[in-house]
């Protein structure tokens, strides 16, 4: 029985260490450069090699993703639906006429530049869509 408890304890310690949200030094340095005055920072894993920070910055709650080498990937800020550009609202209404916008984000990405994302809902179905400021759809 003692060996079983010992093995269980070792597994718990290894699991805790493996899943602890402590990003690599390169990520922490890159974050500090880009978001020098950020407060209330919480780290987590967005994927196997992507770290996500959720934090307060310039009066907003923001999330930012970084690759393990410290490369900034994206910054996302929740916005009000009425803050979506007119062309984005028009594209959503044209392509998803029966869908309701339940959340909107303004996102800067390394890959696409500035995009606007909307979480849509129709009945029990949900869908995420993204557009450039001019209403052009963006696919991941």
pLDDT classification of 16: cutoffs 50, 70, 90: very low
User: How much is the average pLDDT of 79-102?
Assistant: 97
Q: Is the pLDDT of residue 35 over 90?
A: yes
Distance between CA atoms of 57 and 63, rounded to whole angstroms?
A: 10
Judge contact between 138 and 112, C-beta under 8 A. yes
Q: Is the pLDDT of residue 6 over 90?
A: no
Distance between CA atoms of 16 and 88, rounded to whole angstroms?
A: 43
Quick: pLDDT tens for 50-82: 999 999 999 899 999 999 999 999 999 999 999
**For all residues of the chain together, what is the average pLDDT?**
88
pTM of the entire structure? 0.75
């Amino acid at each position: 029985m003692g060996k079983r408890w010992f093995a269980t304890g070792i597994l718990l310690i290894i699991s805790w260490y493996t899943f602890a949200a402590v990003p690599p030094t390169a990520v922490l340095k890159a974050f500090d450069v880009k978001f020098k005055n950020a407060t209330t920072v919480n780290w987590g894993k967005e994927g196997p090699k992507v770290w996500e920070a959720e934090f307060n910055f310039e009066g907003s709650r923001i999330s930012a993703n970084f690759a393990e080498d410290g490369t900034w990937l994206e910054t996302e800020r929740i916005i009000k639906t009425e803050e979506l550009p007119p062309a984005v609202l028009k594209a959503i209404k044209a392509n998803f006429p029966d869908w309701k916008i339940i959340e909107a984000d303004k996102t800067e990405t390394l890959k696409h530049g500035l995009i606007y994302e909307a979480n849509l809902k129709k009945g029990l179905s949900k869908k995420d869509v993204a557009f450039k400021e001019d209403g052009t759809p963006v696919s991941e």
